[in-house]
Structure 1
Amino acid sequence: MPKLAHLTSIAHNLADSLSSGCGFMIGKYDMDIHGEAAASKEGFIDVDFLSGETAGGRVSASLAAAIERYREELPELCHRHKVDVADFGALKVRFGGAGLDRYCVVTVKDRRGRSSVDEYRGSPAARVKILDALGRVRSR
């Protein structure tokens, strides 16, 4: 069973790829999920990479096809990382904002039920760091 951090790393790579609009792993280079999210009344788009389903703002046919390609390529990406796609209990990302304010919130659960939620901002997607009450850096 892979560590949760390994699964989270794979999820971040997927989120960053879709967020950047340059989907090298799927051969599609003209995606703008943040633009579509910002243009929606909801202001965000949730993507479930395991099912290929979305929620929140509506997605264009082109973006829906790209998300489906990510779902199809996920088992191969997992294989390259020496994990099984079945090791994921959940792999969801919320995309929102636009321009310099773009963000994605990556939620991962492993098949044992352990979970991780990390927020990333910008492009490339960098983890948001906060200080706790003792002045230590903590991920949000």
Structure 2
Amino acid sequence: MKFDDLCSIAHNFADSFGSGASLLFNSYGFVPYDDAEQSPDGVLEIDFLSGAVISGTMSPVMEKFVSMSPGVLADLCVRHGASSELFAELKTKYIKTAVGREFVVTVVDRGGRSRSDRYDGSYGKRLNPKKHPPVSSS
């Protein structure tokens, strides 16, 4: 599978998780940006391969969905003709800023290729660093 395809799967997963109404999880009402806002630095970082929070404050509801993420990711990968085993790393930072929200998806494949992309947290579109420089969290 091409690296860009893995990155696309990762983006779709992270965007769905961040939406608060995730069809992948067949649930709604969990919003990682709310937990990020409660974190001291305004960031909630999740390792989706292990189903664990790397940094930030996590509510009990969020803990449930984070722990489900490895299995849900594996299912999504199968639907795309891939395997979650192709990922060496898949981490996402959900960031609550003074002007909105954004997320950063970091992907590393088994061959060592890596990429981090920043997206708008409301629309899931990639942010151009020239037009949208990173802002500090709230």
Deviation at 1:99, TM superposition (A): 8.3
Matched residue, 1:68: 67
Helix, strand or coil for the counterpart of 2:22?
coil
Helix, strand or coil for the counterpart of 2:50?
coil
For residues 14-43 of structure 1, the C-alpha deviation after alignment (integer angstroms, 9 at most, x for no partner) is 111111111111112001210110121121
Helix, strand or coil for the counterpart of 2:122?
coil
Matched residue, 2:8: 9
Matched residue, 1:51: 50
Q: Identical aligned pairs, as a percentage? A: 35
The count of residues paired between Structure 1 and Structure 2 equals 132
**Counterpart-to-counterpart distance in 2, 1:7 and 1:100:** 30
**Counterpart-to-counterpart distance in 2, 1:9 and 1:53:** 21
TM-score (norm 1): 0.87
**Counterpart-to-counterpart distance in 2, 1:77 and 1:29:** 18
Matched residue, 1:134: none
**Counterpart-to-counterpart distance in 2, 1:118 and 1:72:** 23
| Structure whose alpha-carbon radius of gyration is higher | 1
- Judge conservation of contact 1:42–1:56 (CA < 8 Å) in 2: no
**Counterpart-to-counterpart distance in 1, 2:99 and 2:22:** 20
Matched residue, 2:128: 129
Matched residue, 1:97: 96
**Counterpart-to-counterpart distance in 2, 1:98 and 1:130:** 15
Pairwise CA RMSD of aligned residues?
Answer: 1.9
**Counterpart-to-counterpart distance in 1, 2:17 and 2:97:** 13
Matched residue, 1:118: 117
Matched residue, 2:81: 82
Runs of 4 or more above 6 Å deviation: none
Helix, strand or coil for the counterpart of 2:44?
strand
Tell me which moved more, 112-121 or 62-71.
Answer: 62-71
**Counterpart-to-counterpart distance in 2, 1:128 and 1:113:** 24
TM-score (norm 2): 0.88
**Counterpart-to-counterpart distance in 2, 1:4 and 1:24:** 25
